[in-house]
Structure 1
Amino acid sequence: MENWISLQAELGSFEHRRTVYTFALKMSFLAVILSGFIILITLPPLDLMGMLPITLGHAMVFAILLSWLIGGMVSGVLSLVAGFAIHDLTVSRAKFEKLSRTDTLSGLLNRRAFTDALEKVEGDACLAIFDVDRFKAINDRFGHGCGDAVITAVSAMLSAAFDGASVVARLGGEEFGVVVHGGTPAERVARIEGVRAQVAARPIPADGHEVTITISGGIADFHEGRDKEAVYASADKALYLAKALGRNRVVHEREGLNHAWHGLVENGLGVQGIGPNEVSLLQASGI
């Protein structure tokens, strides 16, 4: 990898064919300059020793012409061959890198790429983690082909709902992650809630069936200085609360945790790892 980066830095990027032609032209020009320099330092001594069959002036003219015709052409052809070889390698490497960061079923970013994107988040944004409700039951009842169709449809709806500034990924199984940029916190929550409602209202055709599904979501906010892993953990807990409260809903860490916990207590439910004291601490810390 270090050698490849060094080569790219010295010779430039070979991702586009135009760069290859520019590279070949530069190499041809350098070859002509080098051959001209060699001519200038070798012909005069040969002339002094009487080893030239023609005058020095004629010899230099012929030598320069040959350097342009032969040296320039040969170096140009060799540079084109080498340049296109590097170009193909660059394109193949870019495709491989894209495949290694893409989920094959949904076409979204995979968990690895999403984790990298999380580390680069700056400014006002929030993290939403979605999970398809009762996905195992869908697979068991309609088959895995139908389950794949559900994943594909949800992926398409998420991609369409969020603009290019947002990051949408399939984290694995029936779980998705979205980093939402732009707008106020309330506007971001409204967009996420709108996606949940859209999924619930749109039956998905799959293997001759019309499958109606719902999704649950947990939301956590990014703040300056806040650890990205803490944001993810908080959104994940909010998602579990949404599931425990009956699914088909979105829970925000700050605005919904206390309300959600009291709802669980009233219904005699609980979520592993979350207690009333922890909810109070989360609210006191402003997350």
Structure 2
Amino acid sequence: MSGLFVAVGDSFTEGVGDPHVHYPNQVRGWADRLARQLGRADPAWRYANLAIRSKFLDQVVTDQLDLAIAMRPTHISFAAGGNDLLSLRADVDGIANRYEAALRRLVDTGAEVVVFTTFVPQASGLLKPLVRRVEAFNSAIRDLAATHDATLVDQARMGEYDQRALWAMDRIHMSRPGHKRMAAAVADRIGVRHTLKLSNFVPNEPSGWRAAIEAEAKFVRGEVVPLVRRRLRGEYEGDTTRPKWPDPIHPADGLKRLAAEQAAVERRLKAWGEALDRV
């Protein structure tokens, strides 16, 4: 089996939390890891990744869906809406309705569409409203996946993601092992054999209540408060970020090599632009 896999969405799909200096945007992520497995299964597989961090659902739809559909993919992954849930006044029903409209467009292409639930954070009282939104949105995604015959990867019900080792420091993005497990989960769901080796976990050690309170306070100060401040100022990393793989590539050619070639072309274009400016 071979085809064209196109990934659309936000930081979950771009690969934030899985740093790698030799990949575009300095992140790897589950989609790139899956693409490598696709290339190993059949060199004819092609892959594109349009996902950009911090994008809201409507931005993903406006900026990525038409491009993805125009490529005529056989497989599309769609993960969006998480950033909308982080807004102070999120309308979950409205988000779900717009999500369904996008999902319909993707399913109507005839491609296999892969969708995801969002992991439910284990949070203190300060973040309880977010937990309720995530749970409501996940319920909607499950219903929509069943209604529109989309392939569901239900991360919220994957018990291994209770392990801290699968999450980055911000508790929002998966860590390198988390992205690796997600790549394996997607490969399994679409029926592609993979060679990903998944490590065993050391169980989370329970901590006393004082330590738990201190850890939660540190997390809120270091991650939640800065995030809220950036949102209030309208600052988003995705505003200056470009898609990692905007045009289909053959993963079998080697993602590192392709990334190096892509970077070299960009450097030459930049140099030519600077030279023209000096004329």
TM-score calculated relative to the size of structure 2: 0.23
For the pair shown, which has the larger CA radius of gyration, 1 or 2?
Answer: 1
**Bigger proportion of residues as helix:** 1
Higher relative contact order by CA 8 Å / sep ≥ 6: 1 or 2? Answer: 2
TM-score calculated relative to the size of structure 1: 0.22
